[in-house]
Amino acid sequence: MRLTKFSQAMMISVLGVITLSAQAQSTGTVAKVNGVAIPQSRLELMVKASAAQGQPDGPEMRKALRENLIAEEILAQEAVKKKLDKDPDVIAQLEIARQAVLVRAFQADYIRNNVVSEETLRKEYEVLKVQMGDKEYKARHILVANENEAKDIIAKLKKGGNFAKIAEEKSVDDGSKENGGELNWSPPAAYVRPFSEALVKLSKGGLTEQPVQTSFGWHVIQLMDIRPMEVPPFEEVKQNIQQRVLQREFGTVVQELRSKAKVE
C-alpha cells in the first residue's frame, strides 16, 4: 500500500509498528491514545474509502490506516491542548467539513433511493446517439489568451509554419500542447459549441480562417481527419448513462429545495 511521506515519517519516527490486536477488534476499538478510544467504525470507513480508490483490503492496509488514525489522534489532541479548536478559522473549517459530509450523505441517500428505470436509460441512450451524430473528428488546435496572437499564428501557418511546433511553443492547453495540439477522436458534441461549429465546417486538412473564441480562450483549429462514428453498445455505457440521469435529476431536486428555502 502506498502512503504519503508524512504518514511514513509518522509511522517510523513517532509511532513505530503496532499490530492490531484481536482484543481491540472484539471490543470495537482500534486503539486508545492517552485514554481516548478510536472506534473500529472509523477504521472501517477509511478501509472503504481506500478500497474505492483501488487499494485492496488486507492486513497491510489496515495496519497502515490504523497508524494514520493514531497519528491524527495524537496531533488532534495536541491541537486542542494549544486551544487551536477555539481559533475562529479552525471553527469555520470544521463547520465547512461537517457541512460537506452532510451534503455527500444526502447525495448518497438520494442515489440509494432513486433507481433509474431501464426504459429511461434506453431513452437517454437514444438521445445521446442523436446528439453524438454519425461522425467523429480528429482535430488539433492551438489555444492562446488573445485574438491578435491567434491571428498571428494563423498567418504563420498559412506561410508554411509547423503546426505541431507552434502548438508546443505557444498553446496554453497543457493537455494537448505536448502532442502538437492533437486532440482525441471525438464527436462534435464533445466540444463547446463555438469550437464544434467551427470544426464541422472544415474540410479535411482545413484550418480556421479566423480564431474561434470559447470560454477557454482563442483557438486555431485544424481538421486532420473524419471517420464514421462507432457508438458503444448500450450495456457498455449503461452505468455512465445512469450517473448522467441521476446527476440531472439531483440537480432538479437541488433547484426545488433552493426555491423553497427562505434566504434572507
Domains and CATH numbers, the chain: 5-84 (no CATH), 87-134+232-264 (no CATH), 135-228 (3.10.50.40)
pTM of the model: 0.61
| Residue entry with cell 490506516 | 65
Q: Return the pLDDT at 27.
A: 52
Whole-number Å distance between alpha carbons of 56 and 176: 33
Q: Return the pLDDT at 4.
A: 38
36 DSSP β-pair partners = 33
132, 189 Cβ separation under 8 angstroms: yes
Q: Return the pLDDT at 22.
A: 36
Q: Return the pLDDT at 230.
A: 87
| Residue entry with cell 473549517 | 93
**Burial class of residue 153 (count of CB atoms within 10 Å of its CB; 0-12, 13-18, 19+):** buried
C-alpha distances out from residue 70 to 12, 19, 30, Å: 13, 12, 9
**Burial class of residue 144 (count of CB atoms within 10 Å of its CB; 0-12, 13-18, 19+):** buried
Whole-number Å distance between alpha carbons of 176 and 183: 6
Q: Return the pLDDT at 221.
A: 98
Determine how β-strand 212-214 pairs with β-strand 217-228.
Answer: antiparallel
| Edge-to-edge order in the sheet of strand 217-228 | 135-144, 217-228, 212-214
Residues of the chain with confidence (pLDDT) below 50: 1-26
First to last CA, the chain: 49
Q: Return the pLDDT at 131.
A: 86
Q: Return the pLDDT at 6.
A: 35
Q: Write the DSSP string, 130-172.
A: HHH-SEEEEEEEEEESSHHHHHHHHHHHHTT--HHHHHHHH--
